[in-house]
Amino acid sequence: MNRYEMKQQMLCPDKEARNKTRWWWYGCAVEKEEICRELDYMEEAGIGGVELQILYPLEADDEKRKFGIMIIFHRNLWN
């Protein structure tokens, strides 16, 4: 491989060689349309893949949809 080919490979790597990212999901607070939109955006940006990190709250902050995304830090809760 010559310098030019190597430069091209670095500028446009194969999908398997691209950077990947960690994607944080808050429990079931996800919607299919938004997931697809964000994955398309990541692919367009050159991201080669994602690792999902799913977090679950201790209690729901939206009883209708049964998920929680609110995290409250309050000094009195720690005492």
The pLDDT value given to residue 41: 92
- Mean pLDDT in residue range 29-40: 87
H/E/C letters for each residue in 3-19? HHHHHHHHHCCCHHHCC
The pLDDT value given to residue 73: 53
- Rounded to two decimals, the pTM is 0.58
- Mean pLDDT in residue range 50-74: 64
Residue 7, pLDDT > 70, answer: yes
pLDDT, tens digit, for every residue of 12-28?
888 888 889 998 887 76
